[in-house]
Amino acid sequence: MPEVIFTGPAGRLEGRYHAARQKNPPIAIVLHPHPQFGGTMNNNIVYQTYYAFVHRNFSVLRFNFRGVGRSQGAFDHGTGELSDAAAALDWAQSINPEARGCWIAGTAFGAWIGMQLLMRRPEIEGFISVTPPANLYDFSFLAPCPSSGLIVHGDKDAVVPAKDVTGLVDKLKTQKGIIIEQKMIPGANHFFDGKVEPLMTSIGTYLDKRLGTTVTIGAPGATPPAPAGGKKTTAA
């Protein structure tokens, strides 16, 4: 899992990149929660999602938005962070020019940024959106949502109430040509305290269904150790 530095719109961006072993692998970009509330690329859910793609033979990049860790720049209320995500995808595509597909995944604030990137990059064919903050940000730009994907959240989330996420899902489900799957994790709060395993099971099951893959739960390396310096965010 080599460290990488690539050029973003506000300067250098710090990331971790896994290169798949086979030729022309699909690409996945994983985005972290809110930079001003402790969100980093070492967030446990981000880290686990990263490995969910690794074990399904993706080339995967997770990175710190501007102003986080060693990434240059300052928080830009979503506008700059969307540009950072686009730069991350550009970088991943530059070293995987024959990639067979592309996915985007994000948690909380990162889910909001990821869904915006989805609208701007037609090559993105699937998404994973963990606790998208539908009560805090405007998601009306998803008109229409161009790709099928999974939206997963907890039924005990006090930061992003389940009813708001369900309202977003219901709007998206009225659109033709895509399939939006919703998974609500019983007993899970905004941070999935004690519920990361069922969260990751839901994500893995969805990916396997979409990709036609099988990853054995509990197999060596299937569940990576917690990242060094990983933080729990305090809000979306």
Domain membership flag for residue 223: no
Residue 104's Cβ-count burial label (10 Å; 0-12, 13-18, 19+) is buried
Which residues, given as ranges, of the chain have pLDDT below 50?
A: 219-221
Whether pTM exceeds 0.95: no
Long-range contacts of 222-228 (CB under 8 A, 24+ apart): 222/55, 223/48, 223/51, 224/47, 224/48, 224/51, 226/44, 226/47, 227/42, 227/44, 227/47, 228/42
Domain membership flag for residue 233: no
Domain of residue 11 covers 3-211
Give pLDDT, residue 19. 97
**Total of domains in the chain:** 1
Domain membership flag for residue 227: no
Which CATH number covers residue 13?
Answer: 3.40.50.1820
Give pLDDT, residue 216. 63
Domain membership flag for residue 218: no
Give pLDDT, residue 228. 57
Give pLDDT, residue 221. 41
Domain membership flag for residue 219: no
Domain membership flag for residue 167: yes
Domain membership flag for residue 229: no
- Give the CA-trace dihedral at 53, 206, 121, 108, to 10 degrees: -80
Domain membership flag for residue 120: yes
